[in-house]
Structure 1
Amino acid sequence: MSGVSQGPGASRDRFLLLAGALLPLAAGLVLLAIGWPREAGWAFTLGTAPVLAVLLLDIAHALKEGRFGLDVLAALSMATALAFGEPLAGNVVALMYAGGQQLERFAEGRARREMTALVARAPRSALRREGDALVEVEADALLPGDTVLVRHGDTIPADGRLRAGTALIDQSSLTGEAEPVRCAAGTDVPSGAINVGGAFELRVERPAAESTYAAIVRLVEAAAGSRAPIARLADRYALGFLAVSLALAIGAAVLSGDPRRALAVLVVATPCPLILAVPVALMAGLSRAAKRGVLVKSGGALEKLARVGALVIDKTGTLTHGRAQVAEIRPAPGFTCDEVLCLAASLDQASGHVVAAALVEASRVRGLVLSPPADVEEEGGIGIRGIVGGRNVVVGGSGFVAARAAGDPAALRAGLPAGSAVVAVAADGRLAGVIALADGPRQDAPAMLAALRAGGVRHIALASGDRAEAVEHVARVLGLDAWDGELQPGDKVGCVLSARARMVADEGARAADSGMVMMVGDGVNDAPALAAADLGVAMGARGAAASAEVADVVLLVDRLDRLAEAMAIARRALAIARQSVFWGIGLSIAGMGAAALGYLEPVQGALLQEAIDVAVILNALRVLVPGRGEGAPA
């Protein structure tokens, strides 16, 4: 039942094949009932021949591509049935084969539901504002700077920014979050979300082809066409299973003197559990993970996700929020906290540095009124000076400010939060105070790391390009096993290799089965390490494109706890796949034994095999039902 071509045309052809096996079988049974056995035999042969012909063509095509599948057993069963004068058995096998293909397509369609739903919801058109008019255009035609109107119920066609007012959007198709999100003016809005509130205008920030949703669709399509190593079990054992089946069939016929026993063995031998159960279970696992906001690109990545033993993780934007926040302000005598922050933020309005943005944001949160800066001079990454409200203001590192104003910033730094960055502020040649900024751990980081450890991750290392003291502080707070700071992109690759060497040193041969090294990051500088790891995980589809492209897994929602859920889904999917294979093959072997001993007729054997097929597929579909540790349905 492998090697089935896909697509709408293939689906129609296979349905016609099923009808071509079913209708002659029904006609033959009617002819038997009215006492016309010879005509019934012709009808059964007519129902077998087309399926056998199509199957032989599929086998020939597979052999040309260097693949050998177990469908050859089904072909042997049908050909042997016709040769031994058992057309009814041949027709039943043909019906079971054609029906099995339809069953496989149904099961995979059910398993792919969440993934295919993502693709089906891809926006096709948009209402673009052109002057005073609204013109419907193809979504692919949208360019940065365009303004589009998003109506109630519309899918947002491209990544953009809300121009005015508020918007209520449903991001469940992207993140698995059931509750709609309310966005304010100026908020970035991802493509693929659905407007569940009033109409709003969006300023396009990226072309539709480069949008979040377009990237997700590309990743989904790649995942749907992949095969995991475990899914190749049928190919790996095809020759051996075929040899055993033929030996048992021939042996049964020779020892009993009844060639019909060989036919009975062959019709039970087709290992559909091996062919069907694994891809259905893995596709169901990919679908379950997608529903929880974790896009696993391939079945192979899902299998690796189940065997992660070590984690190397980036700090900024991954374990932390990725933006500095004011942790503490210490004013010098004669100044207040608000005054120090207002002076620094007013001057930093002229700077594009991330620390400057953090100070400006903090001042706005406090409701401070900022003055426009003038005569600004900035030394990139060191400090800035200028005129604010008629006062000469200097903001920067302690050394930069101490060289330009009286007072010792070091005297105010004692006891500031560990790992924080300190900005000194001076006004009119005198130290005004210092401001400590910190990028602290995300609130969900401790719980996520605990869940990963509970799921089998035994070594967690932090690798960051940030300051060494800040990295050490975060690592110690979260109880990590190792850490390195001030790293270049190439240095992070070294951290991945070190983690892999540690797993091998600690566990030896076991590391091959449960010692996969996973790297989690979100920036361009993480891309080399993501590629070097056994499994790369990119944080957020809106992160750096380079990271999402090389990663094996993309977190569509900015929540680290979903990664632990995805690991639980992967482990359960593989366990159910193996369970289906072992039980299915075990039942098939038992049936072959019964057929060899004469307890099963060929027709009974074919019916038994189909019952086994249905059982293992239903078992594989259990992956779609949330298991322990996977989270509730979104």
Structure 2
Amino acid sequence: MDQIRRNRRDVAVLLWAAGGLALGLVTWAFDLPTAPSVIWTLGVLPALVALTVEILRSLGRGEVGLDIVAALSMSAALIFGEPLAAAVVAVMYAGGTFLETFAEGRARREMHALLARVPRMATRHHAGGLEDIPLEAITPGDRLLIRQGDMLPVDGTLASDTGFVDASALTGESLPVKLTRGAEALSGSTNAGAAFDLIATHPAADSTYAGIVRLVEQAQASKAPMSRLADRWSLGFLLVTLVIAGTAWALTGDPVRAVAVLVVATPCPLILAVPVALVAGLSRAAHFGVLIKGAGPLETMARVRSLILDKTGTLTEGTPKITAIDSEDGTAPNEILRLAAALDQASKHPVAQALVTAAQARGLSLPVPTEVTESPGDGVEGKVDGRWMRVGGDGFVGASSLPEGDAGAVIVALSVEGQRAGRLVMADPLREGTPEMLRDLRSQGIARIVLATGDRADVARRVTEGLALDALRSGLTPDQKVLTVLSERKNGPVMMVGDGVNDAPALAAADIGVAMGARGAAASAEAADVVLLVDRLDRLATGMEIARAARAIALQSVVAGIGLSVLGMLAAAAGYLNPVQGALLQEVIDVAVILNALRALRIRPRSVQG
């Protein structure tokens, strides 16, 4: 709501100032004696009041910004009888403030999606039946029913014989995990199999998922605000302005010369050119599927030195893929896949569905299975083409003479009429082009690349073998990922890239958090500063290239604008420009720097074509 009120206020101030300037010019054209001055003064006052309030707030935070120069120029112009100059400055200042608010409007984000994902109700066994209760009514010892697809509302232990949960959003494990009776199950994970019962061990407020929500909120609250590029130039520019204006007044005794200097010095190149360049950069990045939530994140993105990457769903595809098909009785690999996928059509297990998708992608015809029986967590048996088959783990299908698979791989075995026919090896593969993507990021100024994952060390090492990483951190909890981000800050601004709920606190804590938004959790997208709208990690390098180019264009505009303004200030101090002429000169400078800033709309990243 604060952001909405601020947007409305900025629009109102801009419209009032612009309307006052226009109406004053109309009355001046009709040669009305006092009306123009009164109208211009009234048009300036709301902008001046808003500016004064902003200055007081900044000073209270110990910050000195460009607003002081704008306030001095408007105040001095009104005091010394130059209301037209004050009105021009007011319009330019209000316009720049509106642009900046527009650019940063999306950077103020709330955790609505994350909080909305928290279940509000749970189903509890009670007096031989089931009842729906509010989440806060759950107490340790309650027996809850978790249906297929439900997110676990609290931490607990499994009260059924078996259960399958997808904990990828919490732990980084890319494949569903089989749990047996008494096993611990974490809130925030999803039931990926048949319904099961859960005995609550913690109230909702103390659950794993609620803890992650609190971590995100704490990280966002403690994160240092992004400094504006314009404000980093402001103090020096303010000192130069005051020296020139004061010297002109002292040497000539004419306060109007000081007013003319202040009007020319109104920092419109900073107030206008920087937001225009950065907003243009935001628009250009969005064209390539990189949503950057405001000018501040884009500016910081251009200065990143360290990159922390999650594994599952970020460096890897995030879904199991077939990496090998091994025959044990001479059956052709495609036939093994066809038979296994045909039987797995009767199962909703994610691995089974991945096999079906792979078979369909190869154009294999899948007959309808009959007499199917599924053993949750173990496998499926039934008839395909009139033959009895089993698909599942080695314990379900039968022992194999083949060597074990790699770390992190899932083995799906197939038997036909009681005899092992073969097996399919599935794993979460590295995204195609990852080595080249990392090289592109290095070329964008990234000096250090770290992998931070909740997965096991052996799995992380196998998946990332051969990649140019500077460090690998495995088995991390959400709060340990936050600590990893904080420890990397000594090397410069840090960017964190992830897609799961467990990544959200680290994304919020990083100088720049990047979420894989195409398939990632809503929590990570809300906590992040940048969202990749397409499921392509290489667009990260594209976004960084655009951010650096847009920032460079903004700096060019600032340097050129300030240089021209200083020359104009010197001319005004020497008496060659009166306040109104100074205001008009400043507008010419503004147009020039804005046109230059708009070049950011034509940035063509080398990392993509078209």
Summarize the Cα distance change of 1:426–1:529 in structure 2 as closer, same or farther, 3 Å threshold. farther
Q: Structure 1: where are the runs of 5+ without partners? A: 29-38, 83-89, 116-226, 505-510
Q: Deviations over 1:295-350 (max 9, x none)?
A: 11122211221122222223333233222222322222354434433443344334
Give the SS at the match of 2:305: strand
Q: Does 1:376 align with 2:373?
A: yes
How far apart are residue 526 of structure 1 and its match?
2.5
The alignment-based identity, stated in percent, is 47
Q: Does 1:388 align with 2:383?
A: yes
C-alpha distance in 2, partners of 1:246/1:57? 22
Give the SS at the match of 1:408: coil
How far apart are residue 379 of structure 1 and its match?
5.1
**Equivalent residue for 2:286, pick from 290, 293, 303:** 290
Partner of 2:434: 445
Give the SS at the match of 1:230: coil
Partner of 1:623: 600
Q: Does 1:569 align with 2:546?
A: yes
Q: Does 1:454 align with 2:443?
A: yes
**Equivalent residue for 1:518, pick from 491, 495, 506:** 495
How far apart are residue 99 of structure 1 and its match?
4.8
Amino acid at match of 1:546: A
Report which structure shows greater RCO (CA 8 Å, sep ≥6): 2
Partner of 1:94: 86
- Greater alpha carbon shift after TM alignment, 363-372 vs 451-460: 363-372
Give the SS at the match of 1:308: coil
Amino acid at match of 2:398: A
**Equivalent residue for 1:23, pick from 20, 23, 26:** 26
C-alpha distance in 1, partners of 2:586/2:7? 19
Q: Does 1:474 align with 2:463?
A: yes
Summarize the Cα distance change of 1:395–1:74 in structure 2 as closer, same or farther, 3 Å threshold. same
**Equivalent residue for 2:508, pick from 531, 543, 546:** 531
Summarize the Cα distance change of 1:363–1:599 in structure 2 as closer, same or farther, 3 Å threshold. closer
Contact 1:375 1:387 in 2 (8 A): yes
C-alpha distance in 1, partners of 2:53/2:486? 42
Amino acid at match of 1:451: D
Q: Deviations over 1:417-468 (max 9, x none)?
A: 8974333333444322222223333334333222211111122233344565
Contact 2:542 2:605 in 1 (8 A): no
Q: Deviations over 1:388-443 (max 9, x none)?
A: 35765444444x25xx6365232xx6xx7897433333344432222222333333
C-alpha distance in 2, partners of 1:426/1:485? 36
Amino acid at match of 2:78: A
Give the aligned CA root-mean-square deviation in angstroms: 3.8
Amino acid at match of 2:585: L
Amino acid at match of 1:275: I
C-alpha distance in 2, partners of 1:102/1:524? 40
1:318-333 aligned at under 5 Å gives the runs 318-333=314-329
Contact 2:99 2:275 in 1 (8 A): no
How far apart are residue 233 of structure 1 and its match?
0.5
How far apart are residue 567 of structure 1 and its match?
0.7
Give the SS at the match of 2:277: helix
Summarize the Cα distance change of 1:373–1:496 in structure 2 as closer, same or farther, 3 Å threshold. farther
C-alpha distance in 1, partners of 2:485/2:255? 60
Contact 2:20 2:40 in 1 (8 A): no
C-alpha distance in 2, partners of 1:428/1:594? 97
Contact 1:345 1:370 in 2 (8 A): no
- The normalised TM-score by structure 2 is 0.68
Amino acid at match of 1:361: T
- Greater alpha carbon shift after TM alignment, 524-533 vs 548-557: 524-533
C-alpha distance in 2, partners of 1:333/1:346? 19
Summarize the Cα distance change of 1:427–1:598 in structure 2 as closer, same or farther, 3 Å threshold. same
Amino acid at match of 1:581: V
Partner of 2:422: 433
**Equivalent residue for 1:559, pick from 536, 541, 553:** 536
Contact 2:453 2:473 in 1 (8 A): yes
Give the SS at the match of 1:50: helix
Contact 1:77 1:93 in 2 (8 A): no
1:266-345 aligned at under 5 Å gives the runs 266-333=262-329, 335-345=331-341
Contact 2:74 2:263 in 1 (8 A): no
Summarize the Cα distance change of 1:346–1:77 in structure 2 as closer, same or farther, 3 Å threshold. same
Contact 1:538 1:547 in 2 (8 A): yes
Q: Deviations over 1:454-487 (max 9, x none)?
A: 1111222333445654432331244434435555
Summarize the Cα distance change of 1:273–1:570 in structure 2 as closer, same or farther, 3 Å threshold. same
Partner of 2:398: 405
Give the SS at the match of 1:432: strand
Q: Structure 2: where are the runs of 5+ without partners? A: 1-5, 60-66, 107-224
Partner of 1:549: 526
Q: Does 1:367 align with 2:364?
A: yes
Contact 1:329 1:435 in 2 (8 A): yes
Give the SS at the match of 1:73: helix
Contact 2:93 2:271 in 1 (8 A): no
C-alpha distance in 2, partners of 1:451/1:332? 43
Q: Does 1:51 align with 2:43?
A: yes
Contact 1:444 1:559 in 2 (8 A): no
How far apart are residue 554 of structure 1 and its match?
0.7
C-alpha distance in 1, partners of 2:412/2:457? 18
C-alpha distance in 2, partners of 1:328/1:385? 21
Q: Deviations over 1:353-390 (max 9, x none)?
A: 3222222223333424345254635252xx32533357
How far apart are residue 599 of structure 1 and its match?
3.8
Amino acid at match of 1:611: V
Give the SS at the match of 2:318: coil
Contact 2:19 2:43 in 1 (8 A): no
Give the SS at the match of 1:97: helix
Contact 2:89 2:263 in 1 (8 A): no
Partner of 2:584: 607
Amino acid at match of 1:439: D
1:47-446 aligned at under 5 Å gives the runs 48-62=40-54, 65=57, 69-82=68-81, 90-100=82-92, 104=96, 228-231=226-229, 233=231, 237=234, 245-333=241-329, 335-364=331-360, 365-372=362-369, 374=371, 376-378=373-375, 380=377, 383-389=378-384, 393-398=389-394, 400-401=395-396, 405=398, 407-410=400-403, 420-446=409-435
Summarize the Cα distance change of 1:7–1:99 in structure 2 as closer, same or farther, 3 Å threshold. closer
Partner of 1:169: none
C-alpha distance in 1, partners of 2:434/2:561? 41
Summarize the Cα distance change of 1:468–1:424 in structure 2 as closer, same or farther, 3 Å threshold. farther
Partner of 2:566: 589
C-alpha distance in 1, partners of 2:363/2:599? 52
How far apart are residue 555 of structure 1 and its match?
0.9
Q: Deviations over 1:29-56 (max 9, x none)?
A: xxxxxxxxxx86x466345433343444
